[in-house]
Amino acid sequence: MSRDRRPTMPAVEAYQRARALIDAAHSADPVRTATGQPAELAYADRMETWVARLAPTAASVLRLAARCQHLERWSVPRATFSLDKPGYHAWRRLLYTKQADRARELLLQAGVPEVEANAAATWVSKTGLKTNAGTQALEDAACLVFLENEISNFAGQHAEYPRGKFVEIVRKTWRKMSPEAQHAALALDLPPAIGDLVREAVGDGAA
């Protein structure tokens, strides 16, 4: 019996169709990057890059799931919920469910096996964080994308926050990450001010 576990050609074609469907959904994002790329498509590229770096031998479906992390997030604006903490958490919970269901739908439409589509939905929904390896891989990638690409803009948008609040945000992010992701985060080439925040959060026992 062959021990070759590489995907068969029909499976490869299903993954390619799934990627095309996912990226077509991202392309509808009305927000664009400075280069004109749909913002969620750029985010999907960053997510997949980090998953590939942290888990280079991971199954193809994990990379597809990484591209679904913010799937059609733009369709549920934050402003549709109250701008307090309960509203924020309600918004996030809805997004997790909506994105997971949509990911499963697109993967099944592409011909990805149901067991893999269900697994991807589990990971995208954040189910089993710290206990499910796929869910943790996506969380690690999301945290690293935040630290590498987003935290500087976030800080600029919330200049009224005291330094202690930013340190706490970094600390909470750090606690979500696996040791491998934390190690990768420490190797990031961050702007000096952001690097100082990370070091302060870690030095305060964030690890």
> pLDDT band for position 203 (50/70/90)?
confident
Summarize the confidence of residues 107-123 as an average pLDDT: 97
Reply yes or no on whether the pLDDT at 107 is more than 60.
yes
Residues 53-101 pLDDT 10s: 999 998 999 999 999 999 999 999 999 999 999 999 999 999 999 999 9
Reply yes or no on whether the pLDDT at 173 is more than 90.
yes
> pLDDT band for position 7 (50/70/90)?
low
- At 3 the pLDDT is 41
Handedness of CA 115, 120, 121, 122 (dihedral sign): positive
- At 91 the pLDDT is 96
Residues 121-161 pLDDT 10s: 999 999 999 999 999 999 999 999 999 999 888 888 888 88
- At 170 the pLDDT is 92
- At 20 the pLDDT is 98
- Which residue has 């004109």 as its token pair? 36
Encode 35-96 in three state secondary structure: CCCEHHHHHHHHHHHHHHHHCCCCCHHHHHHHHCCCCCHHHCCHHHCCCCHHHHHHHHHHHH
DSSP code at position 8: P
Mean pLDDT of the chain: 91
